[in-house]
Amino acid sequence: MRVISGLWRWRHNPLCRPTDLAEGLLALVALLLVLVAAPLVGALAGSATEDALQRSVREQHKARHQVRATVVRVLEPARPDLDPEGISGQALRTRVMARWTAPDGTGHQHPVLVRLKDPRPGGHFPLWTDAEGRPTARPLDTATATTHAVLAGLGAALLTAALIEGARRLMVRRMVRHRYAVLDRAWDKAGPDWGRTGTGS
């Protein structure tokens, strides 16, 4: 309210140029947009992301099943491929030959990577599979999906605020350039003999 009342009083000031008033109004509009539009965009983006991720969570939980696998034997570590980033992720895992029964009742035995402190033959561990029994990644949980949605909404709100502020600064820069151009033209009209110069004194 102080900003609005200050702008209202400033417009009657004899030193107030039209561009000064325009700059003040532009700042006020940008502030209102940041306070209203940015949270609204963030809420809409977060809500849309939440809906999409929760739908994905439900689909993954329908398509993936946790089974109880048994270690048959510990295998030699796999020779690293050309992906150096994958090596660090696999360093904490052990490669074992495992046996499990798929949700459809078929038996499977394949090498898998597991996070076990001391993998020994006969040891059991949980394994996520698809309906056919093929190993798959753990499904996304609802808490993680909500966290991602909140981060997406926050990012959208911050991006909107940054775009509004960037547009405001761009418009102010154009106003300042226009103001300087007007001053240059006024200076050129006044010429070099303004004031007391050229009077012969």
Tell me the mean pLDDT per 10 residues along the chain, length 201: 51 61 82 93 95 93 90 75 48 81 87 83 88 88 93 96 93 87 79 56 46
Identify the pLDDT of residue 44.
96
Identify the pLDDT of residue 17.
64
**200 φ, ψ (degrees, to nearest 5):** 85, 5
Number of H helices, E strands in the chain: 4, 4
Helix (H, G, I), strand (E, B) or coil at 157: helix
Identify the pLDDT of residue 186.
77
Render pLDDT for 99-138 as a digit per residue (tens, 0 to 9): 998 888 888 888 988 888 878 888 888 989 988 888 988 8
Rounded Cα distance between 98 and 107, Å, is 11
Render pLDDT for 80-97 as a digit per residue (tens, 0 to 9): 554 455 444 445 678 888
Burial class (CB in 10 A: 0-12, 13-18, 19+), 46: buried
Identify the pLDDT of residue 40.
96
pTM, entire model: 0.63
Rounded Cα distance between 26 and 176, Å, is 13
Rounded Cα distance between 66 and 59, Å, is 15
Q: Compute, in degrees rounded to 10, the torsion defined by CA atoms 168, 169, 174, 175.
A: 70
* Residues 100/133, Cβ–Cβ less than 8 Å: yes
Q: Would you state the structure tokens that stand for residue 105, as one six-digit string?
A: 């009742």
Distances (CA, A) of 175 to 78, 88, 170, 171: 64, 54, 9, 6
Cβ neighbours around 198 below 10 Å, total:
10
* Residues 44/26, Cβ–Cβ less than 8 Å: no
